[in-house]
Structure 1
Amino acid sequence: MSAVKKIAVLTSGGDSQGMNAAVRAVVRSAIYHGIEVFGVQRGYQGLLNDDLRPMDLRSVGDIIQRGGTILQTARCKEFTTPEGQQRGADILRARGIDGLVVIGGDGSYQGANKLSKLGIKTMGIPGTIDNDIPYTDYTIGFDTAVGIVVDAINKIRDTMSSHERTSVVEVMGRHCGDIALYAGLASGAETIIVPEVPYDINEVAERMKHNFAKGKRHSIIVVAEGAGRGEDVANKLTELSGIEARVTVLGHIQRGGTPTAQDRILASRLGDFAVRQLIEGNSGKGCGVIDGELVTTDIDVVTSTKRPFNMEMYDLALRLSQ
């Protein structure tokens, strides 16, 4: 017998490609198991506005390939307060909803954790391009974002080669440098600058000069936004090396577009898994995939743990950049 009769699903924080695939999986899995399901519009703000709508199979038709989120998303300061959290729990109870699936990043997980402590069964699904949620190998949207960055760098490299310049590419990642790391390795960047690893701009400039002296006619440097502004890095490198550096800030283009097959599959697996966990009576858990296996971890642990940086991959990128 299911521990839940009615559930809701919301997307919160920054959007990521594959969120729609996750919403689709939650809705269709719930219906398959005979559970009513509601979509919360605009995240926790929509919850406090009591903006919940019944969802059926057709509600999530033709969305698996779409970026963004059909449920939309918004920031909500009120929900960070105990009063807002209590009101959110009361609204769910008044609707007869006893389970909630939250798709988002760290802040979204913290909101889910608060509701869980107020008696609402909750499950978190990692939806963020930053890949900064611990206890899962990948987050929904990360693979797509990395592919977008690699494609952009491929195009930028053509121009840099033609003009014998250095290109500094600034990518998203305030606290986590995974997009810069993975995209930099995949695109053959000479230097990858991330918030997790201290760097010396003088050493970067010397490496540039050394590579150009060996016959290279272009250089790609990938900078995660949390490690510094791309424009500042480019200006300093030009000053130190005498080699012209141009900056490209990719910005929100990294969060849009059609999700890759990998992100769609990950989202589908996690959406269904979250529903099945609620049916079994579990709550206050974050869903993830580790070594291909579906896992859950207490949200208390997830939100209090920093995701470890992959230094082995960083060192590999450095070795191959010669």
Structure 2
Amino acid sequence: MTGIKKIAVLTSGGDAPGMNAAIRAVVRGAIYNDLQVMGVYRGYDGLIKNDLFEMTSKSVSNIIQQGGTILKSARSKEFRTPEGRKLAHDNLVQNEVDALVVIGGDGTFAGARIFGLEFNFPVVGIPGTIDNDLYGTDYTIGYDTALNTVIDAVDKIRDTASAHSRLFFIEVMGRDAGFLALRGGIASGAEAVLVPEIDTDYQHLDTFLRNGFKKEKSSSIVLVAEGEKIGGGAIKIAEKVAQEHPNYDVRVTILGHIQRGGSPSAYDRVSASQMGVAAVEALLDDQKSIMIGMVNREIVFVPFNKALKNKKSLNPDLLRLIDVLSI
């Protein structure tokens, strides 16, 4: 066992449903192991501004069902500088904090990795991002809830699409990753999916529209990840399609930030709870500069360097499934 007596926990980057469940698990997992816990408001910015406070078991009562994060989140330009990180470290030392748990995505972990190396400070990360794009883990907190939000929205849109025989382009989040669009497309019965990982040009889409949509269908749905390769997102693509295919009644819906909000699913709550406790136990086991991941529903420890250096790939079988099922 290490000499760790007190840990701090923060959330950073984009919020994701289930972050509160993870905070709860970190706090109660620490208290179970006779550790003190400090919460940090507004991520790394809170570390720099010394915005830390003591957390108890009661601090995390009645939050497991809440979306967002009770610790708030913010992006910190100052933490990207050596001076900012030194100030953050000085504040942790001043508060007698021995280790840090960070909940967030790749940007959060990049900062955590540098911070840990500069000051030899124990940091463990919990993956919280709806994009599910971190290498080394099958799953990130918030992805399941966001996926179900997408499916629910597309189901509702298909009702009106069917009523008017319309072609809908629906944009979902995923600037650099198409995991949400791909699984959302399969689960909602979309006819096509545009993702950043596949270099789809407009000609390919145009051919698909001419040949693939000649069938008698009451509606058609194309799911578009915001980082798709054609450019311009769902709005620009739909405008071009409407001009070149006047026989289609084209509409666009951008789901936006509704994908981030909402009460987390049971799967998100349970997985976040597992990861939160695992993060505390990893620190007590002398682990540092690692991400807590899940592979085949089992907890794994992934070095920050490995999680950040490698790119997570889409499942090619799921890509093929879209083509098979869209006939």
Pick the TM interval, shorter chain. Answer: over 0.9
Give CA-to-partner distance per residue, 1:102-138, whole Å, 9 cap, x none.
0000110011112211121100000000111110001
CA shift, 1:99, in A, is 0.6
SS of residue matched to 1:226 = coil
Cα 1:226–1:220 shift into 2, 3 Å = same
Structure 1: 4+ residue segments shifted above 4 A = none
Count of residue pairs brought into register by the alignment: 322
1: CA distance between counterparts of 2:66 and 2:234? 30
The aligned counterpart of 2:158 is: 157
Give CA-to-partner distance per residue, 1:236-271, whole Å, 9 cap, x none.
122222212110000001000000001111100000
SS of residue matched to 1:8 = strand
Cα 1:206–1:162 shift into 2, 3 Å = farther
The aligned counterpart of 1:238 is: 242
Counterpart of 1:141, as a letter, is G
TM-score, reference length from structure 2: 0.96
The alignment-based identity, stated in percent, is 48
1: CA distance between counterparts of 2:164 and 2:207? 20
2: CA distance between counterparts of 1:214 and 1:109? 47
CA shift, 1:209, in A, is 4.0
2: CA distance between counterparts of 1:131 and 1:181? 12
Cα 1:123–1:213 shift into 2, 3 Å = same
SS of residue matched to 1:25 = helix
Contact 1:146 1:182 in 2 (8 A): yes
Counterpart of 2:136, as a letter, is Y
The aligned counterpart of 1:309 is: 314
Contact 2:40 2:71 in 1 (8 A): yes
The aligned counterpart of 1:36 is: 36
Counterpart of 2:263, as a letter, is T
Give CA-to-partner distance per residue, 1:46-88, whole Å, 9 cap, x none.
1101000100011000000000000000110000111111221
Contact 2:136 2:306 in 1 (8 A): no
The aligned counterpart of 2:252 is: 247
The aligned counterpart of 1:70 is: 70
Give CA-to-partner distance per residue, 1:221-240, whole Å, 9 cap, x none.
00000114110111112222
The aligned counterpart of 2:115 is: 115
1: CA distance between counterparts of 2:127 and 2:293? 7
Structure 2, unmatched stretches of 5+, are none
TM-score, reference length from structure 1: 0.97
Structure 1, unmatched stretches of 5+, are none
CA shift, 1:210, in A, is 3.7
CA shift, 1:206, in A, is 3.6
The root-mean-square deviation of aligned C-alpha atoms, in Å, is 1.1
SS of residue matched to 1:204 = helix
Aligned counterparts, 1:22-61, within 5 A: 22-61=22-61
Give CA-to-partner distance per residue, 1:255-312, whole Å, 9 cap, x none.
0000000111110000000000001111100110011111111101211111112222
Contact 1:3 1:278 in 2 (8 A): no
Contact 1:201 1:237 in 2 (8 A): no
Which one is further off, 225-234 or 98-107? Answer: 225-234
Which one is further off, 193-202 or 160-169? Answer: 193-202
SS of residue matched to 2:227 = helix
1: CA distance between counterparts of 2:46 and 2:214? 58
